């Protein structure tokens, strides 16, 4: 596990790069030393997600991928139906919570890796 000061410095860099790449799509992009948060600004029809946040949990930043959740203002994970369309792959059969695939993040330009099309 990384020292909290080092983790905060790494997240400073990550947030800076993400803000540059995502521009206005990354409204209120911030981190608190563990969680990276970004306001969800999309919406279709009557459904708006202005009260929801994308949250990446970077607690184990140096050992495993960040966990992604769509959260409400209280920090609770929203149900899969409340996530932006196409993001949640449903409820995970083991963890019993909504989940997202790394390929989705790659398609959105959030995750750059060796994943193929």
pLDDT tens track for 50-89: 578 889 899 888 888 788 888 887 888 888 887 877 778 8
Q: Look at residue 47 in the predicted model and tell me its pLDDT.
A: 47
Residue 115 placed within a domain? no
> What share of the chain has pLDDT > 70, as a percent?
75
31 pLDDT band, cuts 50/70/90, is very high
- Angle value at C-alpha 75, between 84 and 89, nearest 5 degrees: 35
Residue 113 placed within a domain? no
Residue 112 placed within a domain? no
What domain count does the chain have?
1
Model confidence, pTM: 0.70
Provide the residue range defining the domain that includes 60. Answer: 4-107
């Amino acid at each position: 596990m990384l020292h909290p000061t080092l983790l905060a410095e790494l997240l400073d860099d990550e947030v800076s790069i993400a803000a540059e790449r995502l521009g206005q799509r990354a409204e209120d992009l911030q981190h608190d030393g563990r969680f990276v948060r970004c306001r969800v600004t999309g919406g279709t029809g009557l459904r708006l997600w202005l009260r929801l946040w994308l949250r990446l949990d970077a607690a184990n930043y140096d050992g495993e991928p960040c966990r992604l959740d769509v959260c409400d203002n209280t920090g609770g994970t929203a149900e899969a139906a409340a996530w932006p369309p196409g993001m949640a792959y449903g409820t995970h059969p083991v963890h019993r919570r909504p989940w997202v695939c790394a390929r989705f993040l790659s398609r959105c330009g959030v995750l750059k890796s060796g994943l193929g099309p």
